[in-house]
């Protein structure tokens, strides 16, 4: 409808309610809202107050009613199991209705939480939509997280039921989930009433009578359930994300604003139409998976690709090109790290030549910084627009992008272009004063946030305000630093907190430090994120041992690595740990993490004037060299 970015952007800020009321026309409502933007309880803004809808109806039923029943809703492509399957919208409706009925049969009611700890299989999508169908609140936990991370989520979300599978499948083989789930429930103070386990042929699991149910048997007893009309402001899901501590933040998403924002984004950012094939090569455990494997494409009537595989090794660096050509993918969305992995194995891009990928119109990248090298490589290879866009779990959809459905703006390598309509993005200093073009600062978004963004944290209004709204009054603090150029293009310089991005996975170095500090021989530790050519960033650790510990350092560091793998998960990738006699600190006792980062990255640094003991920095430099940093 808009043909100029500038016009759309201006209207979205000058007439917010008009802009979003119009956008809401893409959604089927049971009852129209009373108020587009309810600002009666600032800073808690709520969109479409009084409106009623069902997100699952919008993602499934209405497409069948409109004649899309025979169109593929999901293409499940799993090189790790050798499976390819199309699920039509009609089949999806049947499956989802039955899973919804199963949940109802287990006593799950509106507002009850359901944790979904499952891999990239269609049943996971059925489970998410089934929760939405009956007004239950799902919380998907990424399959790569181990027991400790799962336990804190169970403890916080207090699920009535947990849905899981016997395993996930990584290229190196199956990862059994049931032992991780059982351990997590043991660790958690909250116990679910039932666990329903979907059995995959690759791994068996013993079910505990009375507690565990077999997915297929439970489904056989279920009768299909219909859609429950819920308030636009009712919660749809909770997705936990890393903050600065070991306690993840429960990002809450509502029904109405979420559906409106995603439908708008499919058309205006990604430029796809109902019936197009859209592929987000991510995982349902991350926000990208929630928004752009499941809800966005399905609400928009697209065909979504559910890919259980990797960019390389399943079986080769041509995996993405095969999927694109076989399923006629129009838009691919993935993380830059996936392209770096492909580039590393196939620098000349020879595998592309084996496939006809003329169907691919746009490549969208997000989740971490898109380095200019990777941008140019992808762009030269594919000869289509390569669009960097910037967002985060909290917002649920892009904050800055080149809105391909409105107007393609010139691309500047290294920038995710301009703020997306709805987001009033400003670069500010410590006193929340706006800084001029070219000056680096913290990236804030002036309140209110647009629809689809988190209205609060799960049962933690206070945490929402203190984490995001307090430091810079009037703004939502994104946690990222950066600058704007004179043309209004945004440049993201990285997190200003302890959050790191490892292969597009958001992790907390603070959370890792909490695990490392629990090792019996560790007196003190610091985990920092350093640059990595493939994964963007990886964590490395420095530990000070307790006095009198005389075991071999190698043994201790190996135990620490195992602890992190067992409690957080292998995806944390904390592999390199050095033992030091002290950590560099300020006189007030603050660990000088940013100076340590510069040393480990081989960058210039100045010794802070507040340092307690300058020799500690030399020790860090020496210790970093022993574990291979800076990388050559």
> Contact positions toward ligand COA, by CB under 6 A?
143-144, 168, 170, 175, 281-283, 286, 288, 310-312, 334-335, 337-338, 341, 367, 503-504, 570-571, 573
By a kind-dependent CB cut-off of 5 to 8 A, residue 498 interacts, out of ligand COA, ligand AMP, none, with none
By a kind-dependent CB cut-off of 5 to 8 A, residue 100 interacts, out of ligand AMP, ligand COA, none, with none
Cβ within 8 Å of residue 518, ≥6 positions away: 563
How far is the C-alpha of 441 from the C-alpha of 482, rounded, in Å?
A: 6
By a kind-dependent CB cut-off of 5 to 8 A, residue 200 interacts, out of ligand COA, ligand AMP, none, with none
How far is the C-alpha of 608 from the C-alpha of 521, rounded, in Å?
A: 30
Q: What is the CA radius of gyration of the chain?
A: 24
68, 133, 389, 519: which one contacts ligand AMP (CB under 6 A)? Answer: 389
Using CB under 6 A as the binding rule, whether residue 490 contacts ligand AMP is answered as: no
Min separation Cβ 362 and ligand AMP, Å:
15
Give the bridge partners for 586, in sequence order.
611
Min separation Cβ 23 and ligand COA, Å:
24
Neighbours of 424 (CB within 10 A): 18
Judge contact between 128 and 116, C-beta under 8 A: yes
How far is the C-alpha of 97 from the C-alpha of 21, rounded, in Å?
A: 30
Among 91-99, 267-275, 360-368, 605-613, the segment contacting ligand AMP (CB under 6 A)? 360-368
Using CB under 6 A as the binding rule, whether residue 366 contacts ligand AMP is answered as: yes
Secondary structure of residue 233 in the 3-state scheme: coil
Using CB under 6 A as the binding rule, whether residue 464 contacts ligand AMP is answered as: no
Min separation Cβ 344 and ligand COA, Å:
9
By a kind-dependent CB cut-off of 5 to 8 A, residue 341 interacts, out of ligand AMP, ligand COA, none, with ligand COA
Residues numbered 234-273 forming contacts with ligand AMP, rule: CB under 6 A = 241
418, 495, 593, 598: which one contacts ligand AMP (CB under 6 A)? Answer: 495
How far is the C-alpha of 254 from the C-alpha of 454, rounded, in Å?
A: 8
Q: Two tokens at 87? A: 């699920």
DSSP3 helix / strand / coil % (the chain, rounded to 5): 35, 25, 40
Min separation Cβ 500 and ligand COA, Å:
13
For tokens 């990388």, name the residue: 631
Using CB under 6 A as the binding rule, whether residue 388 contacts ligand AMP is answered as: yes
Closer by beta carbon to ligand COA, 93 or else 262:
262
Min separation Cβ 294 and ligand AMP, Å:
15
User: What is the 3 state secondary structure string of 425-484?
Assistant: EEEECCCCCECCCCCCEEEEEECCCCCCCCCCECCCHHHHHHHHHCCCCCEEEEEEEEEE
Min separation Cβ 144 and ligand COA, Å:
3
Residue 43: is the preceding peptide bond cis (ω within 30°)? yes
Min separation Cβ 316 and ligand COA, Å:
12
Residue 299: name the closest of 486, 603, 62, 625 by CA: 62
Using CB under 6 A as the binding rule, whether residue 374 contacts ligand AMP is answered as: no
By a kind-dependent CB cut-off of 5 to 8 A, residue 143 interacts, out of ligand AMP, ligand COA, none, with ligand COA
149, 254, 424, 480: which one contacts ligand AMP (CB under 6 A)? Answer: 480
Using CB under 6 A as the binding rule, whether residue 418 contacts ligand AMP is answered as: no
Q: How would DSSP label each residue in 88-157? A: EHHHHHHHHHHHHHHHHHTT--TT-EEEEE--SSHHHHHHHHHHHHHT-EEEE--TT--HHHHHHHHHHH
Using CB under 6 A as the binding rule, whether residue 392 contacts ligand AMP is answered as: yes
Closer by beta carbon to ligand AMP, 12 or else 392:
392
Residue 539: is the preceding peptide bond cis (ω within 30°)? no
- Applying CB under 6 A, what is the total number of residues that bind ligand AMP? 20
Give every strand in the sheet of 475-484, ordered side by side: 424-428, 441-446, 475-484, 490-495
Judge contact between 296 and 262, C-beta under 8 A: yes
Neighbours of 50 (CB within 10 A): 16
Residue 166: name the closest of 214, 218, 130 by CA: 214
Give the bridge partners for 249, in sequence order.
241
Closer by beta carbon to ligand COA, 389 or else 598:
389
Using CB under 6 A as the binding rule, whether residue 367 contacts ligand AMP is answered as: yes
Min separation Cβ 24 and ligand AMP, Å:
25
By a kind-dependent CB cut-off of 5 to 8 A, residue 501 interacts, out of ligand COA, ligand AMP, none, with ligand AMP
By a kind-dependent CB cut-off of 5 to 8 A, residue 170 interacts, out of ligand AMP, ligand COA, none, with ligand COA
By a kind-dependent CB cut-off of 5 to 8 A, residue 506 interacts, out of ligand AMP, ligand COA, none, with ligand AMP
Using CB under 6 A as the binding rule, whether residue 390 contacts ligand AMP is answered as: yes
Closer by beta carbon to ligand COA, 43 or else 317:
317
Give the bridge partners for 441, in sequence order.
482
Min separation Cβ 494 and ligand AMP, Å:
6
Closer by beta carbon to ligand AMP, 178 or else 506:
506
Judge contact between 269 and 400, C-beta under 8 A: no
Where do runs of H (alpha helix) occur along 334-460? 336-345, 372-382
By a kind-dependent CB cut-off of 5 to 8 A, residue 503 interacts, out of ligand AMP, ligand COA, none, with ligand COA
How far is the C-alpha of 102 from the C-alpha of 197, rounded, in Å?
A: 13
Using CB under 6 A as the binding rule, whether residue 393 contacts ligand AMP is answered as: yes
- What secondary structure letter does DSSP report for 487? T
63, 95, 160, 369: which one contacts ligand AMP (CB under 6 A)? Answer: 369
Residues within the interface to ligand AMP (CB under 6 A): 241, 287, 366-370, 388-393, 416, 479-480, 492, 495, 501, 506
């Amino acid at each position: 409808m808009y043909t100029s970015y500038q016009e759309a952007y201006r209207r979205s800020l000058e007439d917010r309610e008009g802009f979003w009321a119009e956008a809401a026309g893409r959604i089927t409502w049971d009852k129209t809202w009373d108020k587009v933007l309810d600002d009666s309880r600032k800073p808690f803004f709520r969109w479409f107050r009084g409106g009623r809808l069902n997100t699952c109806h919008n993602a499934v039923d209405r497409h069948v009613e409109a004649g899309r029943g025979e169109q593929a809703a999901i293409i499940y492509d799993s090189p790790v199991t050798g499976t390819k399957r199309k699920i039509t919208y009609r089949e999806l409706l049947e499956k989802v209705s039955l899973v919804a009925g199963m949940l109802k049969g287990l006593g799950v009611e509106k507002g009850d939480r359901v944790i979904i700890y499952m891999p990239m299989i269609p049943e996971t999508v059925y489970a998410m939509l089934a929760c939405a169908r009956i007004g239950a609140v799902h919380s998907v936990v990424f399959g790569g997280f181990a027991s400790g991370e799962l336990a804190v989520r169970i403890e916080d979300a207090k699920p009535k039921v947990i849905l899981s599978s016997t395993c996930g499948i990584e290229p190196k083989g199956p990862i059994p989930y049931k032992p991780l789930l059982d351990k997590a429930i043991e660790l958690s103070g909250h116990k679910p009433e039932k666990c329903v386990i979907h059995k995959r042929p690759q791994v068996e699991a013993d079910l505990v009578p009375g507690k565990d149910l077999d997915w297929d048997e439970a489904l056989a007893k279920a009768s299909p359930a219909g859609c429950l009309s819920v308030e636009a402001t009712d919660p749809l899901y909770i997705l936990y994300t890393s903050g600065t501590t070991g306690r993840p933040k429960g990002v809450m998403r509502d029904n109405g604003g979420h559906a409106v924002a995603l439908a708008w984004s499919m058309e205006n950012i990604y430029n796809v139409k109902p019936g197009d094939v859209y592929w987000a090569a991510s995982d349902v455990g991350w926000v990208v998976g929630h928004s752009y494997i499941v809800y966005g494409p399905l609400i928009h009537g697209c065909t979504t690709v559910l890919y259980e595989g990797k960019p390389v090794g399943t079986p080769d660096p041509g995996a993405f090109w095969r999927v694109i050509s076989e399923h006629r993918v129009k838009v691919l969305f993935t993380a830059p790290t996936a392209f770096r992995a492909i580039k590393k194995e196939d620098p000349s891009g020879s595998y592309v030549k084996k496939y006809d990928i003329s169907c691919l119109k746009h490549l969208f990248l997000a989740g971490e910084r898109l380095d200019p090298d990777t941008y140019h490589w992808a762009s030269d290879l594919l000869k289509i627009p390569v669009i960097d866009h910037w967002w985060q779990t909290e917002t649920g959809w892009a904050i800055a992008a080149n809105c391909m459905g409105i107007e393609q703006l010139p691309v500047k390598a290294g920038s995710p272009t301009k703020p997306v309509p709805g987001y009033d993005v400003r670069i500010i200093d410590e006193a929340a004063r706006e800084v001029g073009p070219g000056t680096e600062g913290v990236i804030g978004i002036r309140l209110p946030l647009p629809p689809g963004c988190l209205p609060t944290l799960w049962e933690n209004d206070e945490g929402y305000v203190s984490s995001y709204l307090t430091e810079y009054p009037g703004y939502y603090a994104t946690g990222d630093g950066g600058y704007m150029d004179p043309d209004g293009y945004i440049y993201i310089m990285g997190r200003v907190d302890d959050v790191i991005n490892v292969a597009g996975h958001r992790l907390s170095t603070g959370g890792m430090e909490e695990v490392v500090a629990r090792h019996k021989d560790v007196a003190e530790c610091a985990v920092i994120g350093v640059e990595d050519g493939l994964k963007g960033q990886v964590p490395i650790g420095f530990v000070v041992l307790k006095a009198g510990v005389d075991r071999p350092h190698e043994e201790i560091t190996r135990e620490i690595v195992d602890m992190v793998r067992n409690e957080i998960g292998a995806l944390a990738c904390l592999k390199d740990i050095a033992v030091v006699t002290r950590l560099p600190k300020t006189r007030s006792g603050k660990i000088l993490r940013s100076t340590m980062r510069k040393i480990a990255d081989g960058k210039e640094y100045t010794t802070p004037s507040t340092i307690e003991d300058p020799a500690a920095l030399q020790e860090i430099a020496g210790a970093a060299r022993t574990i291979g940093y800076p990388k050559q």
